[in-house]
Amino acid sequence: MNILYLVPYAPTPIRTRPYNLIRALASRGHQVTVATLWENEDERLFLESLADKDIRVISAPLTRFQKIINLLTALPTQLPLQANYCWQPQLVNRISEQWAAGGRQWDIVHIEHLRGAKYGLQFNNKNIRVHLRSSASHFSIPIVWDSVDCISYLFEQAAQGSQDFFGRRITRLDLPRTRKFEGHLIHHFDRVLVTSQIDKDALEQLSPISQKSKSSSIVHHPPFISVLPNGVNLNYFAPDPLVRREPATLVVTGKMSYHANIAMVKHLYQDIMPLVWASQPDVKLWIVGKDPSRDIQALGQHPLVFISGTVEDVRPYLHGATLAVAPVTYGAGIQNKVLEAMACATPVVAGRKAVAALDIEHGVDGLVVDAPREFADAILTLLSNPEKCAQIGRSGRLYTETHHNWHHLAEQLEGIYHEVIHRHNCQDSYTTHS
């Protein structure tokens, strides 16, 4: 297949979903054109490197000034701030020029995230014609929108759980707009993808059809939403038998400027670690992730807490720690931090929110607990039982191999593409002959 894969941010390794799906699709023999934005020289150079992997790139810069203008432009409208944040007309023009130069060259368009949805609507043949410099052309290609998560579901939790006052206010402003926009979007693409059943259910509840169904006995057809989980790079995140794990050492990973991760780490430090230290005072805590907020940096004043800041490679910390912990207080979709630790055979203690999208068995693939006392007890139990630690680590690795292999997920996505293309072509044929 010839695939146009539009991502509203450079699909670098840190953006694990588009990075791995694009590479896996290309390795399966598909011709992939990536349409994306870059914000700095490192991202621009990364996009150049994709050409060495036989991946075509259409790109445009997105400056900080442009993002601010996008937010200000959206404020007086009903468009969610997230939906306008990555808007860049230059990218639309460059895609249109490529379309005009090559004729009907793409079999399917894949759009990622709420931030990319506006591009999808621009190309959606049900709404808008793409006006080219030479002519006006109907962009009649099936479009798959990968929502990834239900953003309004995440916002509902952040509006209550975020400890950032300004962030809560912005979230509450954007929440009703996002609910309405997501409910609109799921009916305007040939297929919608999400990473978990929870997000699928949340999106379906936003559908205007779903709202009508609650007060009507008439049977309404739901939107076409499919679950495509996240995977993990099993060659990159793998056990390293040559590395000796540090005794009594916990690691928590993630982007440490992200509001949900800030809330998670503060909950861990304030509510759980005092209970751990009361029983075992030598337990160390590694907080590993880029751009730690001031609140997170301040935790490094404790002699047993290490703040890494930005690291090129998180694996040495996953290999070196005794346990990985993820007491997530709110979130959506699949927590990559959990999958990466499990793939490294690092035993995981996680909150239910962290593994809600996973089919792991408590006590076998990991320990799943929520209350601070229970979470601390789970940590202490594993620290005192190396054999149980190793057993859970091995089981976690096997779980990721079975359920979260990117190549298997790319094969599943390929099947969705074929189904969508067939259905779209049948509809076109019916429209032509009716």
CA distance 338 to 349: 9
Residue 336 lies in a domain: yes
Whether residues 275 and 320 share a domain: the answer is yes
One domain, residues 222 and 309? no
DSSP state of 339: H
Residues 310 and 348 in one domain: yes
Element (H, E) at 265: helix 259-267
Q: Looking at the structure, do residues 138 and 256 belong to the same domain, yes or no?
A: no
Domain with 218 in it? 2-231+407-433
**Residue 244 is assigned to a structural domain of this protein:** no
- Count CA atoms closer than 13 A to 302's CA, side-chain side: 21
Q: What is the per-residue pLDDT for 219?
A: 39
CA 397/CA 235 separation, integer angstroms: 12
* Residues of the chain below pLDDT 50: 126-137, 213, 215-221
* Domain identity same for 424 and 398: no
pLDDT at 384 (0 to 100): 96
Position 414 in a domain: yes
Scan for tokens 């004729």, then name that residue. 103
Largest CA distance in the chain: 76
Same domain assignment for residues 23 and 135? yes
Provide the pLDDT for residue 130.
44
101 lies in the same domain as 61? yes
pLDDT of residue 357: 87
Q: Are residues 195 and 254 in the same domain?
A: no
**pLDDT in the model for residue 123:** 84
The residue type at 257: S
Question: Are 213 and 258 members of one domain?
Answer: no
Q: How many other C-beta atoms are found inside a 10 Å radius of the C-beta of residue 206? A: 21
* Domain presence at residue 238: no
The candidate with the shortest Cα–Cα distance to 349, out of 357, 359, 337, is 337
Q: Do 380 and 264 share a structural domain? A: yes
Tokens of 61: 């810069």
Residue 34, C-beta contacts closer than 8 angstroms, at least 6 positions apart: 5, 6, 7, 11, 22, 47, 50, 55, 56, 57, 58, 59
In single-letter form, the type of residue at position 382 comes to L
**CA-based nearest residue to 355, from 383, 326, 377:** 326
Specify the residue for token string 């029983």: 279
- Same domain? 277 vs 289: yes
**pLDDT given at position 126:** 43
In a domain, 73, yes or no: yes
CB 44 within 8 A of CB 20: no
In angstroms, the CA 34 to CA 85 distance is 19
CATH code, domain carrying 6: 3.40.50.2000
Give dist(CA 347, CA 388) in Å, integer. Answer: 9
Strands 136-137 and 130-131: antiparallel
- 241 falls within a domain: no
* Distance separating alpha carbons of residues 347 and 338, to the nearest angstrom: 10
Q: Is residue 64 situated within a structural domain?
A: yes
CB 131 within 8 A of CB 165: no
111 plus 141 within the same structural domain: yes
**N-terminal to C-terminal alpha carbon distance within the chain:** 28
Q: Count up the domains in the chain and report the number.
A: 2
Residue 174 lies in a domain: yes
